[in-house]
Amino acid sequence: MKKIKPLSWQSIRDEVFRRISQREWLPGEPIPNETELAVEFGCARATVNRALRELANEGLLDRKRKGGSKVSLHAVRKATLDIPVTRQEIEQRGAVYRHVLLEHQVRAPTAEIRGKMPENKALDLLFLRSLHLADEAPFLYEERWINTALVPEALALDLNAISANEWLVNNAVFSRMDLKMFAANATARQAEHLQTPKETALLMMERTTWQGDEFVTSVKLSYAPGYILEASM
Amino acid sequence: MKKIKPLSWQSIRDEVFRRISQREWLPGEPIPNETELAVEFGCARATVNRALRELANEGLLDRKRKGGSKVSLHAVRKATLDIPVTRQEIEQRGAVYRHVLLEHQVRAPTAEIRGKMPENKALDLLFLRSLHLADEAPFLYEERWINTALVPEALALDLNAISANEWLVNNAVFSRMDLKMFAANATARQAEHLQTPKETALLMMERTTWQGDEFVTSVKLSYAPGYILEASM
DNA sequence: CAGTGGTCTAGACCACCAG
DNA sequence: TGGTGGTCTAGACCACTGC
């Protein structure tokens, strides 16, 4: 077994990646354990561990105690999706950001939203509708529910000055986020706000953030036609 | 400064996360350096490093040598999107998978695809159109280009037996993937294949995978109406 | 039970970069 | 140029789990 130069965990990661890519190590098959690789590469086991851990995080390896490390049978690749603050996303495109608060009221949640809450709590929630503009053109329309039990400060805010989106990102505590993306034909209301013909295909996103098992905020976003959501890995 | 129990990097990560969440450490402000935190938590610096590195990966901290670690001004949260093999995705829903190869030919790439290739190389590429079915209902329609210079074996495959999607995932070498999601009204062709009315809003995805700076395959996916793409963080 | 990965430690050196 | 994070090491113990 030829001894190879690398010292850094990155080089080891790359070398292991190469062996998997070039099918020296086949899907489903075990690879040498950390100690053996450390000997082969002439480095500490911790360094090998770091390299293999990264590859496992990317889904290329399955690792189990005692079971050892195996090349994943079907590499479920994971792409990373950035969730920026809408203002920043617009400004990054070189456009001027503005947002309009269309509706702001405390009301009983819809059945859909109530389903996310514990049975016993029948609190009223803060409901918002707003529009984000890029250079005065409609960019994103949002309908949002905020759990005022968890974020009472939201009630006192001037949401014309700062968008709920931005304020929540900077102030709300949350530990988990669910995210759903789908397409929908524009309803009359969406079409009106986004200044597009009715039935135009819109990219929609629903995001719910949670603090423990209670939801903090849930928002339904409608992107203006032509919006492209990008991700990479 | 009160000394806290935790030993594991997870507990330190959680404690630091709590301090950021609960605004003990404010956005933009520096936090104590690794050595100081190691003393406070009563653990090795490497353990603190591991904890802070995870938080930085999630976008909650900005770290710089000499500059120290600061709470991110606008936490760009990163969601994770799984890219499963279509067959597995369908079978995971308890449905029977089948795919149909609609077209299979070597042809000159369109301008759009040629833009992804180096100027000098004017190779013909393998072009495929296929349909993935769940319980015989249209699930996903795809149009795919494969760079046969990089994956010559693809030319000899029986793509009726195994979908290009699945074969490529298991056999193609790639180091990077670009991913775009958007909505579009169904064209006549899409409507026909997905058995839906024309103009129905469809969730579309374009994925291009790269090996170094050469593209391996580029695919345009049209999901059947009602499809929901989920992610989480 | 024994082998594997998961983690922690204490120490060390280095790369980067703000001051 | 000094302080900070980035990394490597050698050793150790532990947790899980296949056998």
Kindly report, residue by residue over A43-65, the tens digit of the pLDDT: 999 999 999 999 999 889 999 99
CA distance B58 to B64: 15
CB contact under 8 Å between B74 and A81, yes or no, is no
pLDDT tier at B5, thresholds 50, 70, 90:
very low
CB contact under 8 Å between A80 and B83, yes or no, is no
> Which residues of B in 16-35 have their CB below 7 Å from strand D's atoms?
33-35
Task: Check if the beta carbon of residue A174 is closer than 8 Å to that of residue A209.
Answer: yes
- Considering only CA atoms, name the residue closest to the C1' of nucleotide C5: A65
> Which residues of B in 38-77 have their CB below 7 Å from strand C's atoms?
42-47, 50, 64-67
Q: What is the pLDDT of residue A215?
A: 87
Nearest Cβ partner of B202 from A77, A201, A229?
A201
CA distance A184 to A199: 8
Average pLDDT over residues B73-94: 87
CB contact under 8 Å between B231 and A204, yes or no, is no
Whether the predicted pLDDT of A5 surpasses 60 = no
CA distance A114 to chain B (A): 21
CB contact under 8 Å between A185 and B185, yes or no, is yes
CA distance B171 to chain A (A): 8
> Which residues of A in 8-47 have their CB below 7 Å from strand D's atoms?
8-10, 42-47
Lowest mean pLDDT among A111-125, A173-187, B47-61, B189-203: A111-125
> B129: Cβ under 7 Å from strand D?
no
pLDDT in tens, A98-154: 999 999 999 998 888 888 777 656 678 999 999 999 999 999 999 999 999 888 899
Whether the predicted pLDDT of A191 surpasses 90 = yes
What predicted TM-score, i.e. pTM, was given to this entire model? 0.87
Lowest mean pLDDT among A122-126, A223-227, B30-34: A122-126
CB contact under 8 Å between A74 and B232, yes or no, is no
Q: In chain A, whose CA is at the least distance from the CA of B222?
A: A183
Q: What is the pLDDT of residue A1?
A: 39
**Best mutation site among B54, B81, B150, B221 for testing chain A: the one with the most A CBs within 10 Å?**
B81
**Best mutation site among B18, B57, B78, B83 for testing chain A: the one with the most A CBs within 10 Å?**
B83
CA distance A71 to A96: 48
pLDDT tier at B122, thresholds 50, 70, 90:
low
Q: In chain A, whose CA is at the least distance from the CA of B232?
A: A178
Whether the predicted pLDDT of B34 surpasses 60 = yes
CB contact under 8 Å between B231 and A181, yes or no, is yes
As a whole number, the mean pLDDT across chain A is: 90
Greatest alpha-carbon span in chain B = 70
CA distance A106 to A207: 20
H or E element at residue A43: none
CA distance A178 to A80: 14
CA distance B85 to chain A (A): 7
Closest residue by Cα to residue A219 from A157, A174, A153, A160: A174
pLDDT tier at A79, thresholds 50, 70, 90:
confident
Q: In chain A, whose CA is at the least distance from the CA of B23?
A: A171
Strand C nucleotides where any atom sits below 7 Å of a protein CB: 2-12, 15-18
CA distance A163 to A144: 11
Helices B34-41 and B45-57: angle between axes, nearest 10 degrees: 120
Q: In chain B, whose CA is at the least distance from the CA of A208?
A: B232
pLDDT in tens, B170-218: 777 777 899 999 999 999 999 999 999 999 999 999 999 988 778 899 9
CA distance A71 to chain B (A): 11
Higher pLDDT, B166 or A74: B166
pLDDT in tens, B6-25: 479 999 999 999 999 888 99
